[in-house]
């Protein structure tokens, strides 16, 4: 929950990556061990039962997003260079100082073209991404087939609806 970010924030004083990894391990284990107990307690004692857990997670996620939005520094290099160029222009008055991102074409159609074509470039341009997407689509297909068959099983066994309806697979051999 909140133990991992606060507990492991001071480990960067350590010299090497192995020390950092081993120093984070107790916090990760504590989070993985205490998480289900806290969630179980909240789901049993909350005002709406297990639904309360989703509200707690939504509140925590929203509060974390707001805090992180205002406290995390910018790390995207072109934006940092743009801010530095704006600062230099403001201090010196030199209009020739600019960042490369300021000179890019920012028309909405070009941005839409780049934004909408990038997923397809990743999908068909990288074999690993393509294979992972293919595997996950198979897994989702099997999962939703189970949902569909489960609905027909429930209808035919509990409600007495015949299982020879159109589009309904036979559930038992005849």
* HSE-up of residue 56 (Cα within 13 Å, Cβ side): 17
Q: How far apart are CA 25 and CA 4, in angstroms?
A: 10
**Tokens 């073209």 belong to which residue?**
113
The pTM for the full model equals 0.45
DSSP letter assigned to residue 13: G
Joined together, the tokens standing for residue 70 give 């205002």
**Tokens 């072109």 belong to which residue?**
78
| Domains of the chain by residue range | 3-71, 75-104, 106-174
Q: Is 169 or 33 the better-scoring residue by pLDDT?
A: 33
Taking only the tens place, the pLDDT of each residue in 129-157 is 999 999 999 999 988 887 776 666 666 66
Taking only the tens place, the pLDDT of each residue in 19-51 is 655 666 676 777 777 878 888 888 788 787 778
Residues near 87 by beta carbon (within 8 Å), at least 6 away in sequence: none
């Amino acid at each position: 929950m909140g133990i991992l970010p606060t507990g492991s924030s001071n480990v960067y004083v350590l010299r090497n990556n192995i020390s950092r990894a081993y120093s984070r391990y107790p916090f990760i284990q504590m989070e993985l061990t205490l998480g289900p107990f806290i969630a179980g307690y909240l789901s049993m004692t909350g005002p709406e039962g297990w639904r309360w857990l989703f509200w707690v997670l939504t509140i925590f996620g929203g509060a974390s997003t707001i805090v992180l939005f205002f406290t995390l520094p910018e790390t995207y290099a072109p934006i940092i260079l743009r801010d530095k160029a704006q600062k230099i222009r403001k201090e010196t008055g030199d209009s020739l100082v600019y960042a490369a991102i300021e000179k890019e074409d920012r028309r909405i159609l070009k941005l839409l073209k780049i934004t909408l074509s990038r997923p397809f470039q990743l999908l068909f341009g990288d074999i690993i991404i393509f294979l992972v997407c293919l595997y996950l689509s198979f897994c989702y297909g099997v999962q939703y087939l189970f949902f569909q068959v489960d609905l027909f099983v429930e209808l035919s066994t509990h409600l007495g609806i015949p299982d020879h309806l159109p589009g309904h697979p036979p559930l038992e051999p005849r």
